[in-house]
Amino acid sequence: MMLSTLFKPTCLCAALLLMSSAAAQAAQSTHTPGQYDLGNGLTFSANYTGEAAANTTGGLRQGSAYAGQLFLGADLDLQKMLGWNATSVHIAVTQRHGQSLSNEAIGNNTSVQEIYGTQNLHLAYFTVEKKFFGGRLEIQGGRTVANIDFLNSPLYCNFQSNSACGNPTFVFKNSNFTYFPASSWGGYAKGWVTDRLYTKVGAYEVNPNDKRPNDHGIDWSTKDATGVVVPWAMGYATTFANDTHPRDYEIGGWFDRSKYTDPLLDANGDYAVLTGQPYRTDRNRSGAYVRFSQMVWRPDMNSQRGLTLFGVAMTNLTGRVNESSFLELGAVMQGPFPGREQDTLGFVINQQRFSSLALQNIRVARASVGASTDIPGSETMMELAYGYQLSPGIRLSPNLQYILHPDQQAEPFRTSNIPNAFVIGLKFTVAL
């Protein structure tokens, strides 16, 4: 009903890896398949990502689904091309296709295939970047999305679940944080106070037209914009260049000054799920988070092999929202075996705790059909994934996912709770 169609926060691992900041890259080395330096300031990127998933037990029913994406991108160094000092242009187009197993068979509002969403040919971003003071100040803007510039890490996309990759899902449930590849007008400014301390702030247009199935990202009008979302962050980040055990510690948040749908009431103040009237429109929400990544062990100081721990804690501050808090913990081992330095082994677990308003919406619906109103107050998702670098251009990532207490916000009149779901997945990326 409501959330399965409204909430499709998605990521693009290749885009996150290509455009992530030094703070995001600090935790460990990453893999960027299909990136080619053509010389004279032009870098071209082309890759294909596929994600298959099968629900073996639990959920609404057993089934399988496949989603895929073709990514084409280019980075233009205008200093080399035109002599424009410290200026570059970033362009990317995607073509997405396939289905979502969560929509088709599980019933929860967080996809087990992060590549699903905006299933068409789409201009993902077209931005201009300018650096000042030797790179200490970076400004970038144009047609873009917030989830590339904020709340991302290369660690997250070692996983297939959209609860972790490419951003903690909470921010999409509780704000109009814009997501890849549904680009709109926006940008950010980032300043490095030292080589380790940074601050960052952005602003992104919220426009429902940019998320329509028939929108291809080429309508740049702001006619139907409903407001703006403003993320901010402050952090401490290191890399292998200045730290034997790279780390990234960050605090941040967002102010959402755009319109959004109330999780419970209609315009008359009644339960919308019972009246059949549209959920009323509200405005203004905010939230905050802390997150970290820290390499804690290196078996070989002559390589970048090592174990990195990471975590996220998020909470709502203001507004009538669907979730009250989010917690995530994970670990990624880069080079789990000698001679396999590009492989990864990772585990992540996160919990989405629902707000009293979202739970009340389901309870009144179930009470109206005589069903029990005893429903779980949270959903827990976990994933175990191995990333196998088959060749320089091919990466395979088999994974196992388990969903404890799948939410049923999409089916509030369901008379019984959705059974826990066990999912077998396979993610792969091929350089073209």
Residues 6+ apart with CB under 8 A from 97: 67, 68, 69, 119
- Average pLDDT on 221-246 reads 96
DSSP string, 245-307: S-EEEEEEEEEEEEEEEEEEEETTSSBHHHH-PPEEEEEEEEEEEEEEEEEEE-S-TTS--EE
Q: Closest by alpha carbon to 295, among 72, 97, 107, 26?
A: 26
Residue 230, pLDDT > 50, answer yes
What is the arithmetic mean of pLDDT over 313-328?
97
User: pTM for the whole thing?
Assistant: 0.90
**Both tokens of residue 16?**
């996150």
For 60, 145, 322, 426, the CA distances from 396, given in Å and listed in that order, are 28, 27, 35, 7
Residue 32 has pLDDT above 70, yes or no: no
**Residue 273, pLDDT above cutoff 80:** yes
Q: Is the model's pLDDT at 368 over the cut of 60?
A: yes
Write out the two tokens for 134. Answer: 């030797």
Question: Is the model's pLDDT at 192 over the cut of 60?
Answer: yes
Taking a C-beta distance cutoff of 8 angstroms, is the pair 422, 402 a contact? Answer: yes
Map out the domains of the chain as residue ranges.
3-431
Q: What is the pLDDT of residue 7?
A: 38
Beta strands in 58-183 (DSSP E): 63-77, 87-98, 121-132, 137-144
- Residues 130-148: tens digit of each pLDDT: 999 999 999 999 999 999 9
Least confident of 25-29, 33-37, 91-95: 25-29
- Among 45, 92, 90, 75, smallest CA distance to 217 is for 92
Considering only CA atoms, which of 424, 375, 421 is closest in space to residue 106?
A: 421
Q: What is the pLDDT of residues 382-408, one digit of tens each?
A: 999 999 999 999 999 999 999 999 998
Altogether, the residues listed in the chain come to a count of: 432
- The Cα–Cα gap between 178 and 185 comes to 10
Predicted local confidence at residue 126, as pLDDT = 98
Tokens of 300: 């070989």
> Which runs of E-coded beta strand occur in 156-217?
184-192, 197-206
For residue 392, what is the DSSP state?
T
Percent over 70 (pLDDT), the chain: 92
Q: Rounded CA gap, 96 and 312, in Å?
A: 29
Residue 53's beta-bridge partner residues? 65, 425
Could you give the CA distance from residue 381 to residue 162 in angstroms, rounded to a whole number?
Answer: 10
Predicted pLDDT of residue 39: 87
Degrees to nearest 5, angle at CA 227 with 314 and 130: 80
Q: In this structure, how many other beta carbons lie within 10 angstroms of the beta carbon of residue 339?
A: 6
Distance CA 271, CA 368 (A): 11
pLDDT above 60: residue 27: no
Neighbours of 280 (CB within 10 A): 16
> How much of the chain, in percent, has pLDDT values that exceed 90?
88
- Going by pLDDT thresholds of 50, 70 and 90, the confidence category of residue 283 is very high
Q: If you average pLDDT over residues 208-217, what whole number do you get?
A: 90
> Residue 20: which pLDDT band, with cuts at 50, 70 and 90?
very low
Q: What is the pLDDT of residues 410-423, one digit of tens each?
A: 999 999 999 999 99
Query: Is the predicted pLDDT of residue 22 greater than 70, yes or no?
Result: no
What value does the mean pLDDT take over residues 162-190? 96
Residue 18 pLDDT class (50, 70, 90 cuts): very low
The 10s digit of each residue's pLDDT in 100-140 is 999 999 999 999 999 999 999 999 999 999 999 999 999 99
| Model pLDDT, residue 4 | 36
Bridge partners for 6 per DSSP: none
Burial 119-158 (b: 16+ CB within 10 A, else e): beebbbbbbbbebeeeeeebebbbbbbbbbbbbbbbbbbb
- The mean pLDDT of 344-354, rounded to a whole number, is 98
Residue 213 is predicted with a pLDDT of 86
CATH superfamily of the 3-431 domain: Carbohydrate-selective porin OprB (2.40.160.180)
Query: What is the overall mean pLDDT for the chain?
Result: 92
